[in-house]
Copies of this chain bind each other. A is one copy, B any other.
């Protein structure tokens, strides 16, 4: 039999080696930042060697960009699950906000990578052909919701989709990205499970109050 070995037994597997490196690198970069991350450390936690990082990615920076690309595309893919066309505008907004809320909470590494990338003034995103100008599918849904609400006379006319997206993001991102200094200064853990529902509802309330005022 010339059957290919099962993927579990293969010694040499380009895709798996690449994926392994990318996976470890994502955690390392999210944990320590771009400058703080160590190529040797990433290599050590991989089932392969440092040589492979340079073989497949070229260098630390290209590896980091690859990590960013994968992280953004994964988020993008998940956001496609938005399905709010059958809901009333108010419910649709609330649903979109809650989905974003859950999403951010479920992907702390992504939030950290975004913070890190902002410290570097998004220079790596700008250098990535995949990411530069990659918009966001949730934005289309949001635009439709606002348009429906406005047409029905229930939402204010001057609400801009990107502004609303910004408000949702700022709330959800802040809760994760700034939780440590917030807890250190104010003594409140914004990620306390006991306050989760409160925050989730609060975000929806705020949006509805603003859009229907």
What residues of chain A have their CB less than 8 Å away from a CB belonging to chain B? 32-36, 112, 114-122, 125-126, 131-136, 139, 162-163, 166-167, 169-171, 173-175, 177-188, 190, 199, 202, 205-206, 209-210, 213
Contact = CB atoms under 8 A, between A and B. Distances in A.
Contact of A181 (B32, B114, B139, B162): B114
A103 to B, nearest CB: 16
A186 B136 CA distance: 8
A133 B174 CA distance: 19
A210 B118 CA distance: 30
A191 to B, nearest CB: 12
A49 B8 CA distance: 57
B121 A180 contact: yes
B122 A181 contact: yes
A70 to B, nearest CB: 15
A139 B186 CA distance: 10
